[in-house]
Structure 1
Amino acid sequence: MKKLTKIFALVSALMIAVFAFTGCGDKKLKFATGGTGGTYYAYGSALSTLTTNNTSTKVTAISTGASADNILRVNKKKADIAIVQNDVAFYAYTGTDLFASNGAQKNIRIVGYMYSEPCQIVARSGINSIEDLRGATVSVGAVGSGVEFNAKQILAAYDISFGDINKRNLDFNGSADALKNGQIDAFFCVAGAPTTAITDLATTKGINLLSIDDDHIAILQSTYDFYKPYTVPAGTYNGINADVKMVTVKATIIAHKNVSNKDVYNILDSAFKATKVNHAKFEELSLESCFDDYANSTVPFHDGAIEYYNEHKEG
């Protein structure tokens, strides 16, 4: 009887070890993205497939409510990695603005800045500068959205408060329709350029794309390190015949701090080996843009990302 007991114990131990080993091998990292019709989901799905097929790291993309939702998931380890706006990551890590009620999310780490989402300010003819927005009717995005905070911060750099404008809270398509119909004078749109709402508007109505000069970019960056200079090239939209300087936030991959360095390295390596065939946004990626001023980032970069950078930087 004792011999049988020992045999059963040995078999059980072996089975547990086998299942544990198998489970480790099959474990997939959860990549929180966005809605299934959006860029975040398409980009995240492409990167998940590339990483899974070409490295030892296995990743599956999941549909979510995008930036704020993704950060909460990663911080609680309900997702391992995610794509978010870097300004929202800043609010999360510092427990400010969008995350004032949730508190600081200190478990998140940046993997890299993947592509730009410029803060575009679209105005009717006759409004030629941000200073002209004082007293105007301006849509600043949905209430409590990242766009609304971007608008508030950019206007504040020019000493313009929401009290100095007739504020409207419309989404991008609603804003474009309202400008087309003469119901508003301008709107903020934080999205890749060109973006459909502005492209469609510019084909039917003359628009201005308002610029932010270097001095005001510096004012913004002195408080919010997530803003980066960006230029929308002439010809991006109908009627925009000169380059327009502005600021951009970045679509950013984050990871939980406990995701392994190897997994983070593999994800980055897959992104850098991707092409526009996988997703058009991969064309924007460069080592310089991915790690722009990383040493001074409020949200720390993941050790695996730093390892990748140090291995691939020149010199």
Structure 2
Amino acid sequence: MKKKTLLSVAMLLVLALFLAACGGGSNDSASTTDAGSDSGNDEAAEKPKFLSMLTGGTSGTYYPLGGEMAKIITDETGIQTDAVSSNASADNVISLQEGEAELAFVQTDVIANAVEGINAFDGKPVDNVLALGSLYPETIQIVTNANSGIESVEDLKGKTVSVGAPGSGTYINAEQILEIHGLTMDDIKAQNLDFGESTGGIQDGNIDAAFITAGTPTGAVEGLGATTDVSIVPIAQEKIDELVEKYPYYAADTITEGTYGLEEDVNTVAVLAMLAVTDSLSEDVVYDITKALYENVDQISHAKGEFIKKESALDGIDVDLHPGAEKYFKEAGLLE
């Protein structure tokens, strides 16, 4: 009996050691698989499956142009990119800051204010949003009915004027242009309307004029011109010089004769539209996006496509570039 018992114990010990060895092998295999899986997940995390590109109101320039650009990014990088309508520049920067989107159209002046923590971002500087590249001039258009009697910025005093959403790029442009002319928002009856509402209000006679900051021709203004004689309020050259001196991100601009049926050129100012990106995207992803956009501009049918060039992609940018964009522009010979 003792021999049988000892033999049984010995066999049990051998079996236990065998099972332990198998179990160890199984755990090692799982660890290896998990490690490989983690590595794959890291790569997947670097290249997201989806991206959101914030644009602007559906009646402006950002939204239709953004739709075409989103398609290029999708086709060229394999990352599904969707253009989303929004309240434009200032709200777009905040949404990027809060991780609600990855790409956004903004004005160069707005992002400069955001990084510095002034104007709409007073005391709340943004430090996780970077530049991808500039796109085209955005003209400040002070739109009115040709029969309104408004012939200068000073004539806006006491009038009902749409100035865009509070904190938006258009709102800040309106505020600064009024300031240069010795006026404030308190001197007008300010209305916070989007472009479509603004032109609809002019057509209906509910408002007298509207500040619209967008590439020309702007769809909403063209729509107004189909039913109403449009006038664009000019900005005098000395005021343009004064504005540019105080706020260097502005530049003199001209709305040419024939646009909206205008009978002569109108002098005004412009800022630049650009793409901003959150710093959470990897260098490789942003490099691919930047390359996709600036090397496929021939696929953009929107009128502003002709202004989008890699050679001018750094114009007006006064904030840090994303490392991925910087890498692309260095390879293109535009940065040292």
Structure-2 change in CA distance of 1:179 and 1:30 (3 Å)? closer
Aligned residues: 309
Structure-2 change in CA distance of 1:305 and 1:217 (3 Å)? farther
- Could you say which residue in structure 2 is the equivalent of 1:160? 183
- Pairing 1:1-315 to 2, within 5 Å after superposition: 1-26=19-44, 27-28=47-48, 30-34=51-55, 40=62, 42-55=64-77, 58=79, 60-61=81-82, 63=84, 65=86, 66-100=88-122, 103-125=124-146, 126-238=149-261, 240-275=262-297, 277-280=299-302, 281-294=304-317, 297=318, 299-313=319-333
Q: Distance in 2 between the 1:76 and 1:197 partners?
A: 30
Q: RMSD over aligned Cα, in angstroms?
A: 3.1
Q: Secondary structure at the match of 1:237?
A: helix
Q: Distance in 2 between the 1:110 and 1:143 partners?
A: 23
Q: Secondary structure at the match of 2:176?
A: helix
- Could you say which residue in structure 1 is the equivalent of 2:11? none
Q: Secondary structure at the match of 1:8?
A: helix
Structure-2 change in CA distance of 1:128 and 1:264 (3 Å)? same
Q: Distance in 2 between the 1:9 and 1:210 partners?
A: 76
Q: Distance in 1 between the 2:316 and 2:150 partners?
A: 34
CA contact (8 A) 1:131 1:158 kept: yes
More off after superposition, 46-55 vs 197-206:
46-55
Q: Secondary structure at the match of 1:247?
A: strand
Deviation of 1:266 (Å): 2.0
Q: Distance in 2 between the 1:64 and 1:7 partners?
A: 54
CA contact (8 A) 1:274 1:282 kept: no
* Runs of 5+ unmatched residues, structure 1: none
Note the alpha carbon deviations across 1:295-314, whole angstroms, 9 max, x for none.
Answer: xx1x2222333333333247
CA contact (8 A) 2:104 2:277 kept: yes
Residue 121 of structure 2 aligns with an amino acid whose one-letter code is F
Q: Distance in 2 between the 1:70 and 1:58 partners?
A: 21
Deviation of 1:12 (Å): 1.7
Q: Distance in 2 between the 1:292 and 1:183 partners?
A: 38
Structure-2 change in CA distance of 1:204 and 1:310 (3 Å)? same
Deviation of 1:193 (Å): 1.7
Q: Distance in 2 between the 1:133 and 1:111 partners?
A: 37
Note the alpha carbon deviations across 1:135-194, whole angstroms, 9 max, x for none.
Answer: 433232344543222211111111122233343444333333333344443221122322
- Could you say which residue in structure 1 is the equivalent of 2:6? none
Q: Distance in 1 between the 2:29 and 2:62 partners?
A: 46
Runs of 4+ more than 6 Å apart: none
Structure of greater Rg: 2
Residue 224 of structure 2 aligns with an amino acid whose one-letter code is L
**Identical counterparts, % of pairs:** 32
Deviation of 1:59 (Å): 5.2
Note the alpha carbon deviations across 1:38-84, whole angstroms, 9 max, x for none.
Answer: 754554454444345435x7453363635444423433445433333
Q: Secondary structure at the match of 2:36?
A: helix
Note the alpha carbon deviations across 1:100-128, whole angstroms, 9 max, x for none.
Answer: 37x21111111111233321101333322
Residue 135 of structure 2 aligns with an amino acid whose one-letter code is M
Q: Distance in 1 between the 2:102 and 2:205 partners?
A: 45
TM-score between both structures, scaled by the size of structure 1: 0.82
Q: Secondary structure at the match of 1:98?
A: helix
Structure-2 change in CA distance of 1:264 and 1:224 (3 Å)? farther
Deviation of 1:267 (Å): 1.5
Structure-2 change in CA distance of 1:47 and 1:123 (3 Å)? closer
Residue 82 of structure 1 aligns with an amino acid whose one-letter code is A
CA contact (8 A) 1:98 1:146 kept: no
